[in-house]
Structure 1
Amino acid sequence: MYLKTTGLALVLLAGAGFAVKAEAASPATATFQVTMTITKACVVTAGTGSKIALGSVTATAVNTKGSNAITVACSKTTPYYIGLAPSNASTTGAGTMTTSDALAGNTDKVPYQLYSDSSYSVVWGNTATSTTVGNGVSGTGTGIANTSSLTVYAEAPSADYTPDAYADTVTVNVNF
């Protein structure tokens, strides 16, 4: 009887989870996503010295011309439209240079016009929006690391004003 009791004890121990051979359990799994939303972006910089220098001229000078570059970089496939706004808020690219000597009585304003071409025939103004070029210049981004260089041309039709140093600030608006 002793053997039968011992055999029964072994069977009970195996049934209680003390098996000699174990099976591997399936791993528990879960998933998650990595997400990112990339938004459109553009960067603009003005050219060397950030000015168009029309030089030193005599009062008899006419159609004094100059140019400088701006660079634009926009995210890939992003359409952009660039407007130029002289400080007098002109949308037609027509500006006026003034002098810092207004306190000394010089109130002259020297007119100039901005252009997008070297023949000074296509006005570059500020009617561009985020969806239309207006009288601005358009392009398509090729990546923030890739800049596009655009030349801005300026012309002052006359220098028949009080001798002094004149300047104006133009804002470059990149709409995208």
Structure 2
Amino acid sequence: MRWDDVNTQVCSMARTLAIVGDRWTFLIIRDITLGNRRFTSMHKALGITKHRLTDRLTRLIEHGVVYKQCYDEARQRFEYRLTEKGLDLYPVLTTIVQFGDKWEADEDGVPLEHVHKACGAVTQPYLACSECHEPIHAREVRAQLGPGIRRKLERGETFGIQGRYYPASLEKVKAR
């Protein structure tokens, strides 16, 4: 499968990565989240080419992750802000930062701390079950077919997920 076709997979992760899955896009989202919202300042801070920055911002706008807001009408200057969809990436960003702080920080320590405005405490992402509120870890969660895949199977559709090709029958999947 070509990278351009990854968004056709029946997989929420693959479809999301088709939008935000390259290093420049995530760094652009990081910068916008931290308040670096103007094209020129992002271009300088990231060291990205203008063409690539324009391409990534255009794609983020097309997918509803970012929107342009005019801050200087006379000169037609814009800044980029996260939409509600873009803001929903915040837990992903902070979890990646937490991973980097734990495994990739240099001997001087973590570069930034995230402070909860309400209480003033330095905070870390905390993944918990939405029902019982217990912390969850990779070995404590299992994946099962969701309604999207079940509906496709009920319609007799055949699809690929995680490199495996699934039959167009729910009974055949259950029999495995």
- Do they superpose with TM above 0.5? no
As a proportion of its length, which structure holds more helix? 2
- TM-score for both structures, normalised by structure 2: 0.20
As a proportion of its length, which structure holds more strand? 1
Q: Which has the larger radius of gyration?
A: 1
